[in-house]
Amino acid sequence: MVPVEHYMVLATLVFFCGLAGVMFRKNLIMVLMSIELMLNAVNIVFVAASRELADLDGQVMVIFIITVAACEAAVGLAMVIALFRKYGTVNTGFLRMLRG
Amino acid sequence: MISYALFYLIAAFILLCSMMVVVSRNPVTSAIFLVTDLFFISALFAKMNAHFLAAIQILLYAGAIVVLFVFVIMLLNLKAEELKGARMTVPEIGVLIVSAIGFVVIAALLGADGATTGGDGRWTDEAITAAGGNTFAVAMRLFVNFVWPFELASVLILLAIVASVVIARKDSLVSSGVGSTAPAQGKGEKGKVAHGTR
Amino acid sequence: MEQLTAQLNEVLGMFGLALWNDAFVQVVATVLKFAVLAVALLQIPPVMVWLERRAPALMQRRRGPNRVGVSLGPIKLRLYGLTQSFADAVKLIFKEEVVPEGAHKAFYHIAPIFGVFPAFLIACAIPYGPPIDVFGYTIPLSIISVDVGFLFIFAISSLAVYGVTLAGYASNNKYSLLGSLRASAQMISYEIPLGLSLIPIVLIYGTLDLNKIVMGQENFWHWGIFTAPVSFVIFFVCMFAETNRAPFDLAEAESELVAGFHTEFNSAKFAAFFLSEYVAMFVLSALCATVFFGGWQNPFISNAALASFVVGILNAPLASFGIALGAASVTNIAALIGIGVLALKAGFFMWMYVWVRWTVPRFRYDQLMDLGWKFMLPLGLANVVGTAFVLAALKF
């Protein structure tokens, strides 16, 4: 059986890919997709831990994470649509109205 | 041995797809790489004996959430990002900090002694099969112990549906100009009005 | 020879298999079953195309193609147009492939794959018959036996949306894009009632595994259509919407958006979309037959009884050759009968597809979306709640 640390390392690497996407991409939708990637990394951790500790609560938690990710993606994309209608761009460089 | 080989193969594909998601210029290409990424993560779940989660992951994530992303990208007709390397000073420091944290985390994980605390310890693979399969066991946990979070999650979904419909409407408060004015670049509605009347 | 066996055993040992142990036999059987299934599924489009031309012709009081036949020298067999489809297939493969100018380089070529791959993968999860008994090994007749049967099928069918979406996006054509967005919006809208309509089935039969659901329909009055009739109605309607067929084929209506999302695809890629559409139709028909009509079960006679009857008849002449057919043959013949029965039922639903297409006029797009969201979805939800209440009441 593959030791659980390997799964954790994989999840960490995927998480940092997502984090890099959030920090460096200028397109708001790409930022949202990178957030989904981070959530998937967390899913991997939960399922691996659930298998290691022989407890099913980890898998139940993953169901909730997927649900919340779906809701957050829906609301986030609705906001992206509204922002695009108002400002004509989804470039995070321009959408800085809340600064300060 | 086959277990190790399978894990490394799937893990290699997951990392490859994740990097392509972040690196692709075209948003639709990123979305498709995200779909393949989710597909391989689902394969990983199936390998870890979480069959229900594997199916749910493809059904919800790859089949609904990313489809939503693709729809929005196509409806807004977003083009590929231009490469602008000029303003990247603050993110460069960010790269260093993040990779430092990353190295520390990975080193800690690989050096851990594997002590496992917490958890039931009851639900080994044999126990799950004896209880009637992975789906049955997860469903028992979900509907017996976690029934309140389950109901709250359904209320949350309802809220999200209502919120997204309200925010994305044409005459919603967000897009009709309530709030501060901002530089209107590209083809926003303010730009259209500013081009004069016909 | 012994050395070869020893080496083969060593290689297989790394995978946890051994020569001719159960796991190895299952792997070999899976590969063979998939080959047989792929060949069988590839025969469906030609037959369906012939049916789609002859049946509406006869319904509209004309003849349809009935000239193409086979001629071998002086023997001329008039096959009433059956080989027309082979002529079509040959034409499609040899046609020149024209890639439109601004087409996205990668997506244009992989979009058909996103259409074909889910259809074939779902076809692997359907149980085609009772397990067969070969040389003492019991081999189940579904290529993948997943214990989350339904969820797997819906998960993979939701990947078919990408084929449509990418096809329209990749062709540099605004009508294609519009057609693909409409088609994919329709497909995802009707996926939800499709899944919801099968939840009462899960509640009634108590399992997600398709094999067990077919086993649970041994009694004729336990067939899905009697225990969950509303589910059948919803599933039947959503079946058409999911494959972009019949009254819901607005996105590829010939008189409207040219050919919708596959306008710019020609020759082999068009053949791939065509194939994926018909295989998806077959898969949903087979799923409908499996869940609501008993799958490979016969109405009042069990397959085993029929098989022993057949074996009894066959044993008489074969006894003169000294061959006696035993219990294994009964199982195998029962499996063959089961496959035939399922093929018959799925064929009936394929005929329904053709019949409905040429009978009912097309929906307008807003009518289509209204039907999906405002009628099918609440009906599906009410169906789930109602079934749950009835089941709970029956328990007392």
> What is the tens place of the pLDDT at every residue in C166-208?
888 888 777 788 888 888 899 999 999 999 999 999 999 888 8
Across the interface, whether the CB atoms of C169 and B2 are under 8 A apart is answered no
B residues 139..198 contacting A (CB < 8 A): 141-142, 145-146, 149, 153, 156-157, 159-161, 163-165, 167-168, 170, 172, 174-177, 179-180, 182-191
> What is the tens place of the pLDDT at every residue in C110-162?
888 888 899 999 898 888 888 887 777 778 888 887 778 888 888 988 888 89
**Residue among B1, B34, B110, B164 with most chain A CBs within 10 A, to mutate:** B164
Q: Counting one residue from A and one from B, how many pairs have CB atoms under 8 Å apart?
A: 255
Across the interface, whether the CB atoms of A56 and B69 are under 8 A apart is answered no
Distance (Å, rounded) from C-alpha C370 to C-alpha C363? Answer: 11
Are C94 and C302 in contact, with CB atoms under 8 Å apart? no
Taking only the tens of pLDDT, chain A with its 100 residues reads: 788 888 888 998 898 888 888 888 888 899 999 999 999 999 999 999 888 888 888 899 999 999 999 999 999 999 999 888 888 888 887 777 777 5
Across the interface, whether the CB atoms of A80 and B76 are under 8 A apart is answered yes
Q: Can you give the pLDDT at residue B116?
A: 60
ipTM reported for the complex, 2 dp? 0.92
HSE at residue C203, side-chain half, CA atoms within 13 A, is 21
Residue B180, Cβ neighbours under 10 Å: how many? Answer: 7
The yes-or-no verdict on residue C81 having pLDDT over 70 is no
Contact of chains C and A by CB distance (3 or more pairs under 8 angstroms):
no
Across the interface, whether the CB atoms of B120 and A81 are under 8 A apart is answered no
B41 touches chain A (CB under 8 A): yes
Burial category of C291 from C-beta neighbours within 10 Å (exposed 0-12, middle 13-18, buried 19 and up): buried
Q: Which of B63, B75, B133 is the closest to C155 by Cβ?
A: B63
Confidence of residue C395 (pLDDT cuts 50, 70, 90): confident
| DSSP one-letter code for C249 | -
B70 touches chain C (CB under 8 A): yes
> What is the tens place of the pLDDT at every residue in C16-41?
666 667 777 888 888 988 998 988 88
Q: Can you give the pLDDT at residue B196?
A: 39
Q: Which of A37, A73, A91 is the closest to B21 by Cβ?
A: A37
How many structural domains comprise chain A?
Answer: 1
B3 touches chain A (CB under 8 A): yes
Q: Can you give the pLDDT at residue C75?
A: 52
Across the interface, whether the CB atoms of B71 and C14 are under 8 A apart is answered no
Q: Let me know if residue A94 belongs to a domain.
A: no
Q: Which residue in chain B has the smallest CA separation from C12?
A: B2
Residue C74: helix, strand or coil by DSSP? coil
Q: Let me know if residue A33 belongs to a domain.
A: yes
Q: Can you give the pLDDT at residue B189?
A: 42
Q: Which of A4, A63, A93 is the closest to B56 by Cβ?
A: A63
Distance (Å, rounded) from C-alpha C301 to C-alpha C299? Answer: 6
The yes-or-no verdict on residue C371 having pLDDT over 50 is yes
C165 touches chain B (CB under 8 A): yes
Residue C76: helix, strand or coil by DSSP? strand
Output the six-digit token pair for B115. 């002590």
- Ordered by start, the domain boundaries in chain C are 1-84, 95-395
Output the six-digit token pair for A43. 């899913």
Domain CATH code at residue A49 = 1.10.287.3510
Domain residues for the domain of B148 are: 2-81+88-195
The yes-or-no verdict on residue C386 having pLDDT over 60 is yes
Distance (Å, rounded) from C-alpha C249 to C-alpha C272? Answer: 18
Taking only the tens of pLDDT, chain B with its 198 residues reads: 778 888 999 999 999 999 889 888 888 999 999 999 999 999 999 998 888 999 999 999 999 999 999 999 988 877 766 544 434 455 666 676 777 777 777 777 766 666 566 666 777 777 777 777 788 888 888 899 899 999 999 999 999 999 999 988 877 666 555 554 444 444 444 434 333 343
| DSSP one-letter code for C250 | G
Across the interface, whether the CB atoms of B55 and C169 are under 8 A apart is answered no
Q: Can you give the pLDDT at residue B194?
A: 39
DSSP state string for chain B: -HHHHHHHHHHHHHHHHHHHHHH-SSHHHHHHHHHHHHHHHHHHHHHTT-HHHHHHIIIIIIIIIHHHHHHHHHHHT--PPP---SS-HHHHHHHHHHHHHHHHHHHHHHH------SS-----HHHHHHHT-HHHHHHHIIIIISHHHHHHHHHHHHHHHHHHHHHTSTT-TTTTT-S------SS-HHHHHHT---
Q: Let me know if residue A39 belongs to a domain.
A: yes
How many structural domains comprise chain B?
Answer: 1
Domain residues for the domain of A36 are: 27-87
B residues 87..146 contacting A (CB < 8 A): 87-88, 91, 94-95, 98-99, 102, 105-106, 109-110, 112, 114, 116, 118-124, 127-128, 137-138, 141-142, 145-146
Helix, strand, coil percentages for chain C (3-state, nearest 5): 70, 5, 30
Q: Which of B109, B153, B157 is the closest to A9 by Cβ?
A: B109
Question: Which one, of C181, A41, C374, C121, lies nearest residue B68 by Cα?
Answer: C181
Q: Let me know if residue A5 belongs to a domain.
A: no
Q: Which of B59, B70, B134 is the closest to C158 by Cβ?
A: B59
Domain CATH code at residue B95 = 1.20.120.1200
Across the interface, whether the CB atoms of A63 and B142 are under 8 A apart is answered yes
Identify all chain A residues contacting B152, using CB atoms and an 8 Å cutoff: none
Tell me what the mean pLDDT of segment C78-100 comes to: 71
**Residue among A63, A83, A92 with most chain B CBs within 10 A, to mutate:** A63
